Structure 1
């Protein structure tokens, strides 16, 4: 989904869930859990908050509002904005490719549209459909 140059920016040693969505988050009185680790990987720590940004946009938040939530995460606050832009573009292309492979899954297109809205907000216009 990304060029070698793009992927070089996305290398890191933080353990990432990368499938942040409402079904994978459990919050109860005694604690909270992230479950269903089907896509674990290592990378820069800002990636999980970035995935949540797209979920928030898909749920109806503006890109500005979603990013303001992420700004409270140390990993996001410490990340280079250019690297976040690279991730936003790569993530958009990945979600578009998955949605195109499964056209009957409307939620996938909704996620790709949310990623497009985020990329547009960040001024990223390179997309591969």
Structure 2
């Protein structure tokens, strides 16, 4: 679980989509749509680009390449590096917990690998599990 200082880094007033996955994008010839706005929330503006970074890594892009895409977003380039690192670590912990709860869902395991790869790229390896984080 994130501590108060880590949580504070993720606060903000940006409208976030937060359900970034391949099923929620419809790409046309001249337009694209984001569908299924079931989880709109408010937070730091870099979070949606960060979520897309993880999806790009899961789709076999290198973390540096995925972050290169995110660098086209002002919210990403203006983000505090510590905030992005905190989000990356929290993302690893979240996907690990989801994979434990749903061991038969292979896509969740793939997301653990993607999140860990991104965290390693950011110099955050190893990221402690939730239980280890709570004990510190």
Q: TM-score range by the shorter chain?
A: over 0.9
Name the residue aligned to 1:85.
Answer: 85
State the Cα RMSD in Å.
1.2
How far does residue 92 in structure 1 lie from its aligned partner after superposition?
A: 1.1
Matched residues, number: 129
SS of the equivalent of 2:108 reads helix
| 1:44 paired to 2:36 | no
Name the residue aligned to 1:105.
Answer: 105
CA distance in 1, matches of 2:39, 2:101: 18
CA distance in 2, matches of 1:94, 1:37: 21
Moved over 4 A (4+): none
Normalized against structure 2, the TM-score is what?
Answer: 0.89
SS of the equivalent of 1:107 reads helix
SS of the equivalent of 1:42 reads strand
Name the residue aligned to 1:21.
Answer: 21
Normalized against structure 1, the TM-score is what?
Answer: 0.94
CA distance in 2, matches of 1:65, 1:102: 30
CA distance in 2, matches of 1:39, 1:115: 20
Query: Whose radius of gyration is greater, 1 or 2?
Result: 2
SS of the equivalent of 1:89 reads helix
Q: Output one character per residue of 1:2-51: Cα deviation in whole Å (capped at 9) or x when no partner.
A: 11221111111111111111100111135211111232211111100000
Q: Output one character per residue of 1:79-100: Cα deviation in whole Å (capped at 9) or x when no partner.
A: 1111100100011111111111
CA distance in 2, matches of 1:77, 1:30: 27
1:109 to 1:83, Cα distance in 2 relative to 1, 3 A: same
